[in-house]
Structure 1
Amino acid sequence: MGNPRKNVTSLENQYAAEQKQSEQRRAQHMKRLMRRLSFFIIFAVVVGGLLISSMVTRANVLDEKKAEKVQLEEQVVQLKKDETKLNNEIEKLNDDEYIAKLARRDYFLSDEGEIIFNIPE
């Protein structure tokens, strides 16, 4: 015997046509739904990727800024030490005896009645 489907004929009535249209509408609806869902998923992945990339970039910048802050704080401490030393030097330079001592030491100047002997080292 042959194929049993060949012996069955389809009915071409209004009910069959409505069912066929209903199935086509359902298939088109599912197709559009899948397209929308695919678009939404792709959009969500792209936006998520951009947000993660931005977050990682900002975290790197933040780490760099923290390292720079630590370095600058150390520099501030060193500059404050230098400032203290320079302020002490200014106070000493206001003293005439200190200036005379520096002049005698650095420029070999002498007081009245002093004799300077230069001893080689």
Structure 2
Amino acid sequence: MGALRQRKVATLQNSYMEQHKIRQQYVNKQKKRLVRRLTVFFMFVIVVSYALISSLLSRHTLLEEKLAQKEQLEKKLAALEKEGELLKEEIVKLNDDEYIAKLARREYFLSDQGEIIFNLPEKDDKEKEEDSSY
């Protein structure tokens, strides 16, 4: 409301008042420039902060994915190493003639002289469960 009312006090027209008015305008311009510079600076800080935070988050998710992938590959490696050990044991067993004869009898139904082989059908899972429940 005070701005709507006109001032009834006359301003003095001397050099001091002119200098004071010019100085006040200069100070106001300096304040505006300062506010603009600070605004630009804070906008820059916000943009840089956003870029850094988004980069950090993307790297964090990438790291999580890589750790999960590493864990999965370590499990796969352990399984493959175990399979390798089993295959090495199988190689050692295959060098034994008795094991080869036993394997040939079981897999290929080969028999020694005078032996008769009877092929019995294997029980299904349901039949095995029924037999084990008695």
Q: What's the TM-score once normalised by structure 2's chain length? A: 0.74
- What is the one-letter code of the residue matched to 1:93? L
Structure 1 residue ranges, 4+ long, deviating more than 4 angstroms after superposition = none
Q: 1:119 to 1:15 in 2, by over 3 A?
A: closer
Distance in 1 (CA, whole Å) between partners of 2:47 and 2:13 is 49
Point out where structure 2 has 5 or more consecutive residues left out of the alignment: 122-134
Contact 2:93 2:99 in 1 (8 A): yes
1:59 equivalent in structure 2: 60
Q: State the alpha-carbon separation in 2 of the partners of residues 58 and 12 from structure 1.
A: 67
Is 1:37–2:38 an aligned residue pair? yes
Aligned length: 117
Aligned to 1:104: 105
Root-mean-square deviation over aligned CA pairs:
2.2
Alignment partners' CA distance in 2, 1:114 and 1:94: 26
Q: CA deviation at 1:110?
A: 2.7
Q: Say if 2:109 and 2:117, in contact at 8 Å, map to a contact too.
A: no
Distance 1:119 1:75, change over 3 A: closer
- TM-score, L = length of structure 1: 0.81
Offset, 1:51:
1.5
AA paired with 1:107?
Y
Q: CA deviation at 1:53?
A: 1.8
Which residues in structure 2 correspond to 1:58-77 (within 5 Å)? 58-77=59-78
Percent of aligned positions that are identical = 48
Contact 1:93 1:99 in 2 (8 A): yes
